[in-house]
Amino acid sequence: MKFSIQPEISVILPTFNRARLLDTAIQSVLGQTFTDWELLVVDDGSSDNTFDLVNPYITENPRIRYLRHCNRKLNNTRNAGIQAAFGRYITFLDSDDSYTPDHLESRCSRKLKISQFRKLAITQAAASDYVILQ
């Protein structure tokens, strides 16, 4: 298993009392065809068994990290993940969602096609994909 101090992609997974859903989300990251990633599970002060579910993953896989802070709501939880991220690029995965196996790989191939731009963010919405250029 390869782990880089600066992975290509940091996947930030904010969560609050959704332990029952986390396994599916985490497994979808572990099943990616693109493997140069890190996963940050950012717990917004859950009172369920979130840590108990995540702990086996973080002990077995150095690419998975767990952060916890007192309930500060979603935006602050995402920001905490961004601040702790080592990746060159950042993406988000909500705890009730999952990725298709080629999700990160497809994002990287798009990045390469439009890499001539200096600042680039690629995001996904339910209806379609957007590219934001600055």
pLDDT tens string 65-111: 999 988 888 999 999 999 999 999 999 999 999 999 999 999 887 76
Domain count of the chain? Answer: 1
**Residue 54 neighbours by CB distance under 10 Å:** 24
The secondary structure element, H or E, covering residue 10 is strand 9-15
pLDDT greater than 70 at residue 121? no
Q: How far is CA 35 from the centre of its chain?
A: 13
Look up the domain containing 124 and give its range.
9-133
pTM for the complete prediction?
A: 0.80
What amino acid occupies position 17?
A: N
* 22 in any annotated domain: yes
pLDDT greater than 90 at residue 21? yes
Task: Kindly report the CATH number assigned to the domain that includes residue 98.
Answer: 3.90.550.10
Which residue in the block uniquely carries the two structure tokens 């390869």?
2
pLDDT of 1 reads: 52
* 2 in any annotated domain: no
Check: CB of residue 72 under 8 Å from CB of residue 44.
Answer: yes
